[in-house]
């Protein structure tokens, strides 16, 4: 090395030493260009969801779907993919109308709690106050020789119905199905929960139900069934108006949920998504009737099933969830008090529903991180028989709605969607 270069080398080494000394250990080099974010979500990671949904349609796994995600009331992701009706080449749109089945339960539960706040009932009120046939209910109990029908040990209450701890199933159980069928329930009602084809009011049907045996003693088990349909009748009798009128005038219309109905207006029939089925790895159009397309346009329009009867859109349902997420208040109107919403969204059943998930007054609750994917503890939600699903994650400010009408679904696309969504949330507020 020449003598002329030695001072330059000493200077360079000195500068490098200073740089190392002033750089924190473990520091990461600055990125060349910051990746764009949308309300805390990485845009490039959200794009992976697009690819997954497109592939699910292309591979004949689903016919179509609508996904909507809000964070702090701002749209993070909204996508309509595939077909609303594949045979007629009608594309899916963000405002497509879906059968939401058991997603109806949250709205009916809200209606009951509105009446509770008005003093028309309490959580301890016996159901028999509104439905006399429930004054002396019975339970089908397995024995060594078959099934024994025994009296219920106590009265069923409003709380039992809201938490699904009344012991009331959908009548598909082997111990009771033969008794339910002649009453038009259980096997005679599609999958048990379907009543859109009935020509009698829901209270008439629920009065019959009260004479049939249930499958567990009140308060002793979490049993999914007609609980919320009974609550729909109670709303009618406590308020003095049909359930569809109560929901429309007290909840959906004030909230701006213009596309939420028990039966779709005939003029809008082309907005109703076709039901598909995937039970063989490929999508096919489901048949007509209760197990397929149903009676949500041309049905008798008589039975308003609070447990599974509504149709809605992703945008409408998200609006309802926003109200719940805001402590019962939306656009200047208080629908429920914050403490009532807390009751709805807090586990009320101990470990009857499970050790990692609970159940409030109308919603499933996440009790342990990892119990429902990546959802934060405190997340609440539920799903519908046609495959639709929703979650509210208060810790992250998220409202997540995924709409699909596929029965059986034959796909885990909802689970993949939710996993990929949380994987795109890089500016997280809660990680457990």
pLDDT level of residue 4 (50, 70, 90 thresholds): very low
Query: pTM value?
Result: 0.91
CA–CA separation, 315 and 134 (whole Å): 38
Query: Residues near 409 by Cβ (< 8 Å), separated by ≥ 6?
Result: 62, 278, 387
Handedness of CA 196, 199, 204, 207 (dihedral sign): negative
pLDDT level of residue 424 (50, 70, 90 thresholds): very high
Whether the pLDDT of residue 15 is over 90: the answer is no
pLDDT at residue number 12: 45
H/E element holding 398? Answer: strand 398-403
Mean pLDDT calculated for residue range 263-288: 95
Which part of the chain is CATH 3.40.710.10?
37-95+242-424, 109-239
Q: Is 26 left (phi over 0), alpha (psi -120 to 50) or beta?
A: left
pLDDT at residue number 144: 87
Q: Tell me, which fold does domain 37-95+242-424 have in CATH?
A: Beta-lactamase (3.40.710)
291 compared with 424, residue with greater pLDDT: 424
Query: Residues near 134 by Cβ (< 8 Å), separated by ≥ 6?
Result: 126, 127, 128, 155, 156, 210, 230
30 compared with 248, residue with greater pLDDT: 248
Question: 104 with 311: CB under 8 angstroms?
Answer: no
Whether the pLDDT of residue 121 is over 50: the answer is yes
pLDDT tens for 341-352 read: 999 999 999 999
Query: Residues near 301 by Cβ (< 8 Å), separated by ≥ 6?
Result: 262, 263
pLDDT tens for 162-200 read: 999 999 999 999 999 999 999 999 999 988 999 999 999
Whether the pLDDT of residue 11 is over 80: the answer is no
pLDDT tens for 31-62 read: 566 789 999 999 999 999 999 999 999 999 99
DSSP tag of 281? S
Q: Which CATH number fits domain 109-239: 3.10.20.30, 3.40.50.300, 3.40.710.10, 3.40.50.620?
A: 3.40.710.10
Q: What is the 3-state secondary structure (H, E, C) of 228-276?
A: HHHHHHHHHHHHCCCHHHHHHHHHHHHHCCCCCECCCCHHHHHHECCCE
**DSSP string across 46-70:** HHHHHHHHHHHHHTTS-SEEEEEEE
Mean pLDDT calculated for residue range 194-210: 97
Mean pLDDT calculated for residue range 64-73: 98
Mean pLDDT calculated for residue range 241-251: 98
Question: 278 with 410: CB under 8 angstroms?
Answer: yes
pLDDT tens for 330-376 read: 999 999 999 999 999 999 999 999 999 999 999 999 999 999 999 99
Mean pLDDT calculated for residue range 275-288: 94
Whether the pLDDT of residue 9 is over 60: the answer is no
């Amino acid at each position: 090395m020449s003598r002329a270069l030695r001072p330059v080398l000493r200077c360079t080494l000195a500068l490098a030493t200073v740089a190392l000394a002033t750089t924190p250990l473990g520091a990461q080099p600055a990125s060349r260009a910051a990746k764009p974010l949308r309300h805390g979500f990485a845009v490039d990671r959200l794009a992976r969801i697009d690819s997954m949904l497109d592939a699910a349609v292309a591979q004949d796994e689903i016919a179509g779907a609508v996904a909507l995600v809000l964070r702090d009331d701002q749209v993070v992701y909204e996508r309509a993919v595939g077909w609303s009706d594949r045979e007629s080449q009608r594309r899916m749109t963000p405002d497509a109308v879906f059968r939401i089945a058991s997603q109806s339960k949250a709205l009916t539960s809200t209606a009951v709690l509105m009446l509770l706040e008005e003093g028309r009932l309490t959580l301890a009120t016996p159901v028999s106050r509104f439905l006399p046939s429930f004054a002396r209910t019975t339970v089908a109990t397995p024995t060594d020789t078959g099934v024994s029908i025994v009296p219920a040990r106590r009265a069923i209450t409003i709380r039992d119905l809201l938490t699904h701890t009344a012991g009331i199933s959908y009548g598909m159980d082997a111990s009771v199905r033969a008794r339910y069928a002649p009453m038009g329930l259980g096997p005679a009602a599609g999958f048990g929960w379907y009543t859109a084809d009935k020509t009698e009011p829901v209270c008439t049907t629920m009065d019959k139900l009260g004479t049939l045996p249930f499958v567990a003693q009140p308060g002793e088990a979490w049993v999914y069934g007609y609980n919320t349909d009974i609550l729909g009748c109670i709303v009618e009798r406590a308020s003095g108006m049909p359930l569809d009128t109560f929901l429309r005038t007290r909840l959906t219309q004030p909230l701006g949920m213009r596309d939420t109905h028990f039966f779709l207006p005939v003029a809008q029939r082309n907005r109703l998504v076709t039901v598909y089925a995937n039970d063989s790895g490929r999508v096919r159009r489901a048949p007509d009737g209760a197990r397929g397309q149903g009676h949500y346009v041309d049905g008798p329009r008589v039975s308003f099933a609070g447990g599974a009867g509504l149709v809605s859109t992703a945008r409408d349902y998200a609006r309802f969830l926003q109200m719940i997420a805001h402590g019962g208040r939306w656009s200047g109107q208080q629908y429920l008090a914050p403490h009532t919403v807390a009751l709805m969204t807090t586990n009320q059943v101990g470990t009857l529903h499970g050790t990692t998930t609970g159940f409030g007054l109308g919603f499933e609750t996440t009790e342990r991180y990892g119990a429902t994917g990546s959802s934060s503890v405190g997340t609440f939600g539920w799903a519908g028989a046609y495959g639709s699903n929703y979650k509210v994650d208060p810790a992250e400010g998220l409202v997540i709605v995924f709409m699909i009408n596929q029965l059986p679904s034959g796909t885990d696309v909802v689970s993949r969607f939710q996993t990929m969504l949380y994987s795109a949330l890089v500016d997280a507020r809660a990680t457990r």
